Chains A and B, each alone.
Chain A
Amino acid sequence: MFSKISLGRYYPAHSFLHDTDPRVKTVLYAVYLIAIFMIKEPVAIGVLAGIILLQLIMGKITPSILWSTVKPIIPLALFVFVINVLTIRDGDVLFSWKIITVTSYGLARAAIMAVRLIFLIISTSILLTLTTTPLKMSDALEKLFAPLKIIKVPVHEMAMMMSIALRFIPTLATETDKIMKAQQSRGADYDTGSFINKVKGYITVLIPLFVSSFRRADELAVAMDARCYKGGEGRTKLNPLKMTVRDVLAGIMFTLLAALVVTIEFSLR
């Protein structure tokens, strides 16, 4: 079940968004993050949904890929929705039973919260993880944060660590799956019993997972050493980041679209 985790996975394809400079995508991501958290009005949300749809098309992301990224977040979105519905008591009461009160305002707020969360995941996926390989992403972060090197922030190392972490997500997911199966065949049961027991059950999975992660880290470090890795100094790039006119235009266009959404939002308030 863990081997199917799609969060943080790259989707290999050739598309406009895949080819867009990752620095532009990273900046756009920050812009959209702000936009997502500023909007409340349905019209603005609708326009934003339209923009996201446009991005999906430009990234050639199929509905099934989209579904697999959104699916894991749905329980959380539902949880957020329910909590909001139950805790917000302003507005017209639609339904009331014992301590449960559902209001129209509460429903609307809860829906917005859930939608925001889903937009957040979709944006992260299309602008970053699905269309950008971890190495490109770390290149982008390294370049964007390069000024911090002046104050001795190890920018290259941090970027490298991040890309390796992403590279190992599927590997460790498979490993987790293997450990759980082995323990299940010795009688472990992760689905039943009290909450405490469940947590305890996962500890027995985490220990061998940690041990093996350390072993992998060790082996990977040796392998990187053997391939003459010595930090960012003097490294060249197979696919160096190149900012083209097209990238700049795409950046400007999507920034303007985000601005449009925010403008609609404020004009309707």
Chain B
Amino acid sequence: MPEDPDRIVISDVSFSYDISEETSGKAPRRALDGISVTIEKGSYTAILGSNGSGKSTLAKIIDILEVPDEGRVVIFGKDASEDDLFWDIRSGCCCVFQNPDNQIVGTIVEEDVAFGPENLGIPNPELRERVDQALKDVGLYELRHRETTALSGGQKQKLAIAGALAMRPDILILDEATAMLDPSSRDDFLELVEKMRMEKGLTLITITHDMTEALRCDKLVIVNKGKVAMEGTPEEIFMSEDLWKYGLKRPVKFNFAFEIAKLTGNTLCEADLKSDETLINALIKMLQMPLTQVPSITWEEEKPKEEKEIIMSVKGLSYTYDGSDVKAINNINLDIRKGEVLGIVGESGCGKTTLISHMNAIFRPAEGDIIIHTKDGDLACSNKKDTMKIRQNVGLVFQYPEYQLFEETVYKDIGYGLKKMDIAKEDHDKLIRQAAEKVGLTDRELDASPFELSGGQKRRAAMAGVLVMNPGILVLDEPASGLDPRGRHEMFSIIKGLRDSGTTIILVSHNMDEAAVNCDRICIIDKGKIKAVGTPKELFLRKRSEELKIQRPRITRFSSALKTELKKYYPGIEFKRRYFDPAKEAAAIVDTVIKAGGADVQ
């Protein structure tokens, strides 16, 4: 077969990571198990799959960072098994990885960009030109003499792109490169990458958990257990009902559209998914057709919210880091009510983490105070004597808590805080098991070493280590970051369970979609100050969001586009109920349209 110079061809590739002697009793689990993929030159492909499905390994095979045990890899007509082509192939393919800190080699921005081309042995006038060009392309030229550690997360990822561009590659692989970025830097980053793809004719391969990001691609490949489970255009893939099986789900707007189709007894076809316009047209048609059977929709009656007592009040809190002139947080006043889920939303660096670090006296208030109201009286974060009591009452789970596990077994790790907090020994066992149950860890997992667990399990174990103290208030910093859609769903089920059992929850997030669905109230922080506090419904009213200059959740943006169209057909129609859950929002719209006279009248 003549080699195709315009394709990446992976055929029947199997690969397993070296497994140590102890566990080699059985054959090692294959990270890739006879996988075959073809990727066209110049295309934009997303590789999707659950955590541990083998998608990152596939990326490493394409960049020949790993050599397959079996099978063949041919990159643009070059066979990767030929030794003399090895560096040729690898230099034509660049990767940007998830963690910005772990891929920067240089201390100074331009030194880091030069690292790749220096390795290729590019001589000097050209080397300088490549570095400068790459820095200009990504917009970091002005910062070329900065220290790399002084850059923000988004800038670091752009630096990684510059480092890749300076090697003048044909292929660029993004391995969850946007996972640690906030939405605005994420959009910024993706726009940059797509622009570079157009300008330099790159073949772009992205590995992601973000389904909306996947929609931007020409082709999706779903990997499951080291094999390709599905491949096709985004429209083909998102028609499928099997996504959940692979730890994935449809983008929010599709979820919503499929829900409307189901309620009206219709089906969507691939062509409908092409664009927002086609999708809205299809939905309007559905809503206008006479309904064969009126869907039975039951509404949870919206109870007027009773004002629960205040459990924590933040009073005039300000904080300035040493050596900085800017206040990281500036005069924060916030009351948290018992049993609510309060979302704290804002871009990276807005002061969210500084604020929550005060909530259990990790940072002692320098200006202002936080008062925790408990049944045994009030506790003040500024009072050193209250510190231990506060830490029992307010549990704080930082971002990526799984990196902080240290004991021999999960059981011991969860129990760590109990020993520190002087809690009667005979209660320990009961408390540890209760905490494990809350996060869904089994006895077998309790006896395992924390380092044997999967990523999601580790995170839950770390959460249990905080829950073991039975805190009345739980503060969670980005609890779902880095998890696949199924993992995120599980995490939010756990949070919902905790809330139902009476825990007050403060949820830090930069994902508006999830905050809108899961929070009773949202507090938006911008540059250290509170910009607005309110229920999602108040904040995400079109007028209010425009005033505040915040982006509304994806579901709301799509649903209001649909509503605007519907108003043309049903003048005077009013949509009273609004939801952020796609299924409920779909039901509300169908219900309103039927009541407005719907198709039957027409």
Contact = CB atoms under 8 A, between A and B. Distances in A.
Interface string B385-418: 0001001100110100101111000000000110
B149 A170 contact: yes
Given A164-B105, A170-B149, A204-B406, A227 B94 contact: yes
Contacts of A183: 404, 416
B366 interface: no
A71 B339 CA distance: 47
A181 B398 contact: yes
Given A181-B362, A222-B97, A226-B63, A10 B107 contact: yes
A236 B91 contact: no
A134 B116 CA distance: 17
Interface stretch (B38-46, B117-125, B188-196): B117-125
A208 B107 contact: no
Contacts of B145: 12
Nearest to A189: B420
A235 B121 CA distance: 5
A175 B101 CA distance: 11
A204 B405 CA distance: 9
B323 interface: yes
Interface in A159-190: 163-164, 166-167, 170-171, 175, 178-179, 181-189
B31 interface: no
Contacts of A12: 108, 145-147
A133 B114 CA distance: 14
Contacts of A185: 360, 362, 391, 395-396, 398, 466
Contacts of B398: 178, 181-182, 185
Interface stretch (A31-39, A116-124, A211-219): A211-219
Interface string A119-146: 0000000000000011100000000000
Contacts of B87: 228, 230
A206 to B, nearest CB: 8
Interface string A3-18: 0100000101000000
Given A167-B105, A170-B149, A238 B118 contact: yes
Contacts of A204: 406, 416
Interface in A212-246: 212, 215-216, 219-220, 222-230, 234-240
A199 interface: no
B177 to A, nearest CB: 12
A196 interface: no
Nearest to B422: A187
B171 to A, nearest CB: 11
Nearest to A172: B101
B466 A224 contact: no
B403 A208 contact: yes
B416 A186 contact: yes
A150 to B, nearest CB: 23
B132 to A, nearest CB: 10
A187 B322 contact: no
Contacts of B395: 185
A238 B119 CA distance: 11
Contacts of B405: 208
B9 interface: no
Contacts of A211: 403, 406, 451
Give the interface size class of chain A.
35 or more
- Which residue, of A189, A216, A235, has the highest number of chain B Cβ atoms within 10 A? A235
Interface string A235-261: 111111000000000000000000000
B111 A222 contact: no
A10 to B, nearest CB: 6
A4 to B, nearest CB: 6
A65 to B, nearest CB: 11
Nearest to B395: A185
Nearest to B399: A178
B421 interface: yes
A268 interface: no
B403 A226 contact: no
B127 interface: yes
Given A135-B111, A181-B362, A182-B398, A237 B404 contact: no
Contact of A134 (B107, B388, B403, B406): B107
Contacts of B403: 175, 179, 208, 211-212, 215
B323 A4 contact: yes
Nearest to A160: B105
Interface in A58-85: none
A151 interface: no
Contacts of B357: 181
A207 interface: yes
A1 B456 CA distance: 30
Contacts of B117: 236
A84 B118 CA distance: 51
B138 interface: no
Contacts of A166: 107
Nearest to A217: B102
Interface in B83-97: 87, 90-91, 93-95, 97
Nearest to B363: A181
Nearest to B126: A236
A234 B121 CA distance: 5
A189 B451 CA distance: 25
Interface string B426-453: 0000000000000000000000000100
A171 B120 CA distance: 27
Nearest to A210: B406
A81 B164 CA distance: 52
Contact of B420 (A171, A187, A225): A187
Contact of A207 (B127, B392, B406): B406
B124 A135 contact: no
8 contacts: A133-B106, A133-B111, A175-B403, A204-B416, A224-B115, A228-B91, A229-B119, A230-B87
Question: Which 3 residue pairs of A and B lie closest in terms of their CB atoms, listed nearest first?
Answer: A187-B420, A238-B114, A223-B103
Given A226-B93, A228-B87, 19 more contacts: A10-B147, A175-B403, A181-B362, A185-B362, A185-B396, A188-B420, A212-B403, A215-B403, A216-B101, A220-B102, A223-B95, A225-B65, A226-B63, A227-B164, A236-B121, A236-B123, A236-B127, A237-B118, A239-B111
